[in-house]
């Protein structure tokens, strides 16, 4: 994390943990604000990889599940990088910027993904580098987020999810969410000024507030425990526009296409709630009576819920989801309730 930015947030009351800002002193109030008001979130738990060079577009298009050729300055893309077996090693939000692309992913995966992705560059004219110190990541979500972002940045992305607007080094992205939600990329000096203006009427919050909005929007994340665990369709990436079935080949494409064209998908990602005392770690097993002691699925991501307990996304066998009885962590663990997603889920 940029040292100046980190110190600025510390002066704002930020409490840091291993993954970044955990809270600003009152996590319970922050969770309530995520549901009911406007929250302002430092997104340093997310990292940026910059891809530049004459072959950057063709290189990324040969690696990622989405069609980079269709990405323009007014939109962002979700796109996965898969293993040869078609399982997601990482999931990016891809943004065009100047003469290259930004790939946003969890900071916990950045170094491993960057190292492995560079192995595929070979003779291509493309450079992959970390951009975390150059651009700060700030999120705001809430009923008044659109008005605030427009007033403070002078930029208003077009209506609809995954749109963006830019001016100079500043990028504003509109994201799906329980409330209107935006992410802002800006150099540190500009980010401090933006934070200072957006904070009026907003509750500063830790990364958990942003994770909750992702869960409510049904947007998956790939973290170290689940890297190489899920085919994109298992995590609903096809339903979120993150997979192209008409582009050319990419790593894992044969498996991903086979799932799409030849077979009924047996697992999908669902949103669930549990009255559990703490949020389970990614990869935690989920059980159903009809499968006895064999896990029927795994947690993708989870966080404390504003209403108590925890909210989570999990990949589960559709037959178990239809049967209805699911338990977290063990066969007699906390009961899970399936909640609705903002898009239809089918096999």
Residue 152's H or E segment, with its range, is helix 145-153
Strands (E), 153-284: 163-167, 170-175, 181-186, 203-205, 267-274
3-state class (DSSP) for residue 248 = coil
Query: What is the Cα–Cα distance from 254 to 250, expressed in whole angstroms?
Result: 8
pLDDT of residue 290 exceeding 90: no
Query: What is the Cα–Cα distance from 9 to 333, expressed in whole angstroms?
Result: 38
**What pLDDT was estimated at residue 293?**
77
pLDDT of residue 136 exceeding 80: yes
3-state class (DSSP) for residue 318 = helix
Strands (E), the chain: 15-17, 20-23, 39-42, 46-52, 76-82, 88-97, 100-106, 127-130, 136-141, 163-167, 170-175, 181-186, 203-205, 267-274, 285-287, 297-304, 310-317, 326-328, 335-339
Q: Using alpha carbons, list the distances in angstroms from residue 161 to 33, 44, 57, 224, 328.
A: 22, 22, 23, 27, 32
**What pLDDT was estimated at residue 261?**
87
The CATH classification number of 3-44+133-217 equals: 3.30.1360.120
Query: What is the Cα–Cα distance from 55 to 50, expressed in whole angstroms?
Result: 13
Condensed to tens digits (0 to 9), the pLDDT of residues 79-135 reads: 999 999 999 999 999 999 888 999 999 999 999 999 999 999 999 999 999 999 999
Condensed to tens digits (0 to 9), the pLDDT of residues 310-321 reads: 999 999 999 999
* β-strand partners of 287: 327
Task: Report which of 303, 312, 315, 318 is spatially closest to residue 336, judged by C-alpha positions.
Answer: 312
Strands 163-167 and 136-141, bridge-based pairing? unpaired
Architecture of domain 266-340: Beta Barrel (2.40)
pLDDT of residue 166 exceeding 80: yes
pLDDT of residue 347 exceeding 70: no
Structure tokens at 190: 């500009």
**What pLDDT was estimated at residue 180?**
96
**What pLDDT was estimated at residue 340?**
96
Query: What is the Cα–Cα distance from 283 to 285, expressed in whole angstroms?
Result: 6
pLDDT of residue 216 exceeding 90: yes
Domain segments of the chain: what residues?
3-44+133-217, 266-340
Condensed to tens digits (0 to 9), the pLDDT of residues 4-60 reads: 999 999 999 999 988 789 999 999 999 999 999 999 999 999 999 999 999 999 999
Query: For all residues of the chain together, what is the average pLDDT?
Result: 95
**What pLDDT was estimated at residue 74?**
97
Task: Report which of 244, 193, 304, 197 is spatially closest to residue 67, judged by C-alpha positions.
Answer: 244
| Greater model confidence, 200 or 292 | 200
pTM for this entry: 0.96
Condensed to tens digits (0 to 9), the pLDDT of residues 233-268 reads: 999 999 999 999 999 899 999 999 999 888 778 999
* Residues 53 and 125 sit within 8 Å (Cβ to Cβ): yes
Structure tokens at 78: 């979700």
């Amino acid at each position: 994390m940029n040292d100046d930015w980190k110190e600025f947030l510390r002066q704002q009351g930020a409490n840091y943990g291993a993954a970044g800002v955990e809270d600003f002193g009152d996590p319970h109030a922050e969770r309530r604000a995520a549901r009911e008001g406007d929250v302002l979130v430092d997104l340093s738990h997310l990292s940026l990889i910059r891809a530049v060079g004459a072959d950057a577009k063709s290189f990324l298009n040969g690696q990622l599940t989405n069609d980079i050729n269709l990405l323009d300055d007014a939109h962002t893309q979700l796109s996965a990088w898969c293993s040869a077996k078609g399982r997601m090693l990482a999931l990016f939000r891809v943004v065009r910027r100047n003469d290259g692309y930004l790939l946003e992913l969890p900071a916990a995966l950045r170094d491993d993904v960057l190292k492995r992705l560079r192995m595929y560059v070979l003779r291509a004219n493309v450079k992959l580098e970390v951009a975390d110190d150059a651009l700060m990541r700030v999120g705001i979500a809430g009923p008044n987020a659109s008005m605030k972002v427009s007033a403070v940045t002078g930029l208003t992305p077009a209506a609809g999810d995954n749109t963006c607007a830019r001016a100079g080094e500043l990028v504003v992205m509109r994201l799906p969410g329980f409330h209107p939600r935006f992410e802002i990329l800006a150099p540190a000096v500009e980010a401090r000024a933006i934070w200072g203006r957006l904070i009026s009427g907003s509750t500063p919050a830790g990364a958990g507030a942003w994770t909750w909005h992702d869960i409510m929007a049904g947007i998956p994340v790939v973290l170290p425990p689940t890297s190489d665990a899920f085919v994109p369709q298992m995590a609903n990436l096809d339903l979120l526009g993150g997979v192209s079935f008409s582009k050319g080949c990419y790593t894992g494409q044969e498996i991903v296409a086979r799932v799409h064209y030849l077979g009924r998908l047996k697992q999908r990602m669902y949103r669930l709630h549990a009255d559990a005392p703490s949020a389970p770690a990614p990869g935690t097993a989920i059980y159903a009576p009809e499968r006895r002691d064999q896990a029927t699925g795994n947690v993708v991501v989870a966080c404390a819920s504003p209403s108590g307990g925890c909210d989570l996304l999990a990949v589960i066998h559709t037959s178990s989801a239809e049967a209805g009885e699911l338990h977290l962590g063990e066969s007699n663990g906390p009961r899970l309730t399936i909640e609705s997603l903002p898009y239809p889920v089918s096999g």
